[in-house]
């Protein structure tokens, strides 16, 4: 089917980036949030990012205005009914996601694909609460969405060839490079990333080196664009912990077990860039 209108559920850090990329790529975008305050904050984040791109010459002022005109916010998921594809991008928690999927399944036309931006949760488990498991797929974007070129597509056991092909076509239109993974917790990227971040936190927790030296060692010694603790702050320590817990529960391997420091920081509200403090202080 032809995709002209994309619905996005959730306009937080990831959702707002997905909204921006979809609108900049020419799609009409319906943005659904749980209440008016969250919707206002999310749309404000999108507008600020688009205006910043225009001020830096990445897009013209005319393109920025055209992009903003393609975006419409709704505070009721029932209003996503006109969408040709919906991407869920709420918190990394299976039960709220299942609630969204049940609602979308009742609201959307039978042929509409429901995708999830999950970075670790089973696609089959989300598909099972719908009457269209063949039209459920993972579309895992990376933060910051307008910058990162990868789109990880995750195929559930019942995801159809047609659904995968449509997701690949949408990814190409968004200017992303798509990779396809089977429905296994962590998929490709987080299956590799989470143990790496966990090991870095353990090194810091054990006092082996300062956070600055750990990050500098990886940047300069391994040619990474940023160190693991800076990356954890960017991803969000709460998201990192949630994914680690899913992986540890599924596989039971020590390399996926979150260190106490990570859990303590999340409990204290030190979530990284999104909260202003994580391993580093971003409040200034």
Which residue among 117, 120, 122, 190 is the active-site one?
Answer: 190
Least Cα distance to 60 among 69, 51, 47 occurs for 51
Nearest partner of 85 among 110, 113, 63, 64, judged by Cα: 113
Is 140 noted as a catalytic residue in this protein?
yes
d(CA 114, CA 163): 9
Position 254 in a domain: yes
Backbone angles phi, psi at 117, to 5 degrees: -90, 15
**Same domain for 92 and 68:** yes
Residue 212 belongs to some domain of the structure: yes
User: Please, is 59 exposed, middle or buried when counting C-beta atoms within 10 Å of its C-beta (0-12, 13-18, 19+)?
Assistant: middle
Shared-domain flag, residues 29 and 95? yes
State the catalytic residue, choosing from 120, 122, 152, 275: 152
CATH number of the domain that residue 212 is part of: 1.10.1040.10
Which residue range is the domain that position 74 belongs to?
5-182
What pLDDT band is residue 18 in, cutting at 50, 70 and 90? very high
Same domain, 218 and 178: no
Let me know whether 174 and 55 are in one domain.
yes
Which residues, including other chains, have CB under 8 Å from residue 260's CB and lie 6 or more apart?
205
Query: Which tens digits make up the pLDDT trace of 153-182?
Result: 999 999 999 999 999 999 999 999 999 999
- In the block, tokens 């999310």 appear at 42
At 139, phi and psi to the nearest 5? -125, 90
> What was the pLDDT predicted at 1?
73
Boundary residue ending a domain (182, 205, 220) = 182
- Are 199 and 222 in a shared domain? yes
- The model's pLDDT over 63-107, given as tens digits with 9 standing for 90+, comes to 999 999 999 999 899 999 999 999 999 988 899 999 999 999 999
CA pair distance 210, 103, nearest whole angstrom:
47
**Worst-scoring range by mean pLDDT, 32-41, 159-168, 192-201?**
32-41
User: pTM for this structure?
Assistant: 0.90
Of 119, 120, 122, 143, which one is the catalytic site residue? 119
Within this chain, do residues 203 and 167 fall inside the same structural domain, yes or no? Answer: no
Asked if the structure places residue 273 within a domain, the reply is: no
Does the active-site annotation cover 143? no
Question: Would 282 be classed as within a structural domain?
Answer: no
Kindly state whether residue 198 falls inside one of the protein's structural domains: yes
- The answer to whether residues 177 and 239 belong to one domain is no
Question: 116: which residues sit within 8 A by CB, 6+ positions away?
Answer: 87, 88, 89, 97, 101, 123, 126, 136, 137, 138, 139
pLDDT at 120 (0 to 100): 87
- Is there a single domain that holds both residue 63 and residue 170? yes
- How is residue 183 written in tokens? 């429905």
Which residue among 88, 120, 140, 275 is the active-site one? 140
Task: State yes or no: is 119 an active-site residue.
Answer: yes
Q: Is the peptide bond before 144 cis (omega within 30 degrees of 0)?
A: yes
Specify whether the CB–CB gap between 204 and 211 falls below 8 A.
Answer: yes
Catalytic annotation on 190?
yes
**Which of 182, 202, 221 is a domain's end point?**
182
Computed over every residue of the chain, the mean pLDDT equals 96
Place of tokens 């959307």: 108
Q: In total, how many domains does the chain have? A: 2
């Amino acid at each position: 089917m032809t995709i002209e209108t994309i619905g996005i559920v959730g306009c937080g850090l990831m959702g707002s980036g997905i909204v921006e990329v979809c609108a900049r790529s020419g799609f009409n975008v319906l943005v659904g949030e749980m209440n008016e305050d969250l919707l206002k904050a999310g749309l404000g984040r999108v507008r600020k990012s688009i205006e910043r791109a225009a001020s830096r010459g990445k897009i013209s002022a005319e393109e920025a205005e055209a992009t903003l005109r393609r975006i419409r916010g709704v505070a009721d998921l029932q209003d996503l009914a006109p969408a040709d594809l919906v991407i869920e991008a709420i918190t990394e928690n299976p039960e709220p996601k299942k609630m969204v999927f049940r609602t979308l399944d009742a609201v959307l036309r039978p042929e509409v694909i429901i995708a999830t931006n999950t970075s670790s949760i089973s696609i089959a488990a989300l598909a099972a609460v719908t009457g269209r498991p063949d039209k459920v797929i993972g579309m895992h974007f990376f933060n910051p969405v307008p910058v990162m070129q990868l789109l990880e597509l995750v195929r559930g056991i019942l995801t159809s060839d047609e659904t995968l092909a449509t997701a690949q076509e949408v990814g190409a239109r968004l200017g992303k490079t798509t990779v396809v993974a089977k429905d296994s917790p962590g998929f490709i990227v987080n299956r590799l990333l989470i143990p790496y971040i966990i090991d870095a936190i353990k090194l810091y927790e054990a006092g082996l080196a300062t956070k600055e030296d750990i990050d500098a060692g990886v940047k300069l010694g391994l040619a990474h664009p940023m160190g693991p603790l800076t990356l954890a702050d960017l991803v969000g320590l709460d998201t990192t912990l949630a994914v680690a817990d899913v992986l540890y529960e599924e596989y039971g391997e020590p390399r996926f077990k979150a260190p106490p420091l990570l859990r303590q920081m999340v409990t204290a509200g030190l979530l990284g860039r999104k909260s202003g403090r994580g391993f580093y202080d971003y409040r200034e």
